[in-house]
Structure 1
Amino acid sequence: MAPLAAGCLLLLFSFCSVRRTAASWNTSRNLTEPTPVVIWHGMGDSCCNPLSMGFIKKLVEQEIPRIYVLSLEIGNTITEDMENSFFMNVNDQVALVCNILSKDKKLQDGYNAMGFSQGGQFLRAVAQRCPSPAMVNLITFGGQHQGVYGLPHCPGVSSHICNWIRKMLNLGAYSSPIQEHLVQAEYWHDPLNEDLYRNKSIFLADINQERGINESYKENLMKLKKFVMVKFSSDTMVDPVDSEWFGFYKAGQAKETYTLKESVLYQEDRLGLKAMDKVKKLEFLTANGDHLQFSEEWFIKNIVPYLK
Structure 2
Amino acid sequence: MVVVKAMEITSYFVLLCLMEITTQDPLPVVIWHGIGDSCCGRNMGSIKSLIEEQVQGIYVKSLEIGNSTTEDVNNGYLMNVNDQITMACKLISDDSKLQNGYNALGFSQGGQFMRGVVQRCPTPRIFNFVSIGGQHQGVYGVPKCPGDKSTLCDIVRKLLSYGAYVSFVQDNLVPAEYWHDPLNLDEYRSKSVFLADINQERTKNPVYKENLLKLKNFVLVKFLQDTTVEPRESEWFGFYKPGQAKKLLTVFETPLYQQDWLGLKKLNDTGRLHFLSSDTDHQKFTNEWFISNIINKFFK
Q: TM-score, normalised by structure 2?
A: 0.87
Partner of 2:224: 233
Q: Which of 180, 194, 208 is 1:217 aligned to?
A: 208
Distance 2:264 2:160 in 1: 30
For each residue in 1:265-305, what CA deviation from the matched residue of structure 2 results, as whole angstroms up to 9, or x when unmatched? 11111111111110011000011110000001001110002
- Aligned positions, number: 270
For each residue in 1:81-138, what CA deviation from the matched residue of structure 2 results, as whole angstroms up to 9, or x when unmatched? 0000000000000000001111101001110011000000000010000010011100
Q: Which of 20, 30, 35 is 2:27 aligned to?
A: 35
Distance 2:142 2:101 in 1: 35
Partner of 2:141: 150
Distance 2:137 2:98 in 1: 29
Aligned-pair identity (%) = 60
Are 1:74 and 2:65 counterparts?
yes
The residue correspondences of 1:115-194 to structure 2 (distance < 5 A) are 115-153=106-144, 169-194=160-185
Q: Which of 186, 190, 195 is 1:195 aligned to?
A: 186
Q: Which of 265, 269, 289 is 1:274 aligned to?
A: 265
Larger mean Cα displacement after TM superposition, 201-210 or 168-177? 168-177
For each residue in 1:200-239, what CA deviation from the matched residue of structure 2 results, as whole angstroms up to 9, or x when unmatched? 1000000000012100000000000000000001000000
* Offset, 1:192: 0.5
Distance 1:267 1:167 in 2: 29
* Offset, 1:168: 7.9
Amino acid in the other structure paired with 2:70: T
For each residue in 1:143-188, what CA deviation from the matched residue of structure 2 results, as whole angstroms up to 9, or x when unmatched? 000000023139xxxxxxxxxx989835410110000000000000
* Offset, 1:29: 8.1
Q: Which of 52, 58, 66 is 2:49 aligned to?
A: 58
Amino acid in the other structure paired with 2:127: V
Distance 1:169 1:106 in 2: 42
Amino acid in the other structure paired with 1:258: L
Structure with greater contact order relative to length (CA < 8 Å, sep ≥ 6): 1
Distance 1:167 1:270 in 2: 29
Q: Which of 94, 97, 107 is 2:85 aligned to?
A: 94
Amino acid in the other structure paired with 1:123: M
Are 1:301 and 2:297 counterparts?
no
Q: Which runs of 5+ in 2 are unaligned?
A: 1-19, 146-155
Amino acid in the other structure paired with 1:44: G
For each residue in 1:227-267, what CA deviation from the matched residue of structure 2 results, as whole angstroms up to 9, or x when unmatched? 00000010000000000000001111111100111100111
SS at 1:91 equivalent: helix
Q: Which is higher, the Rg of structure 1 or of structure 2?
A: 2
Q: Which of 289, 294, 301 is 2:280 aligned to?
A: 289
Runs of 4+ in 1 over 6 A off after TM superposition: 165-168
Answer yes or no: is the 8 Å Cα contact 1:29–1:109 preserved in 2: no
Q: TM-score, normalised by structure 1?
A: 0.85
Distance 1:29 1:209 in 2: 39
- CA RMSD after TM alignment: 1.7
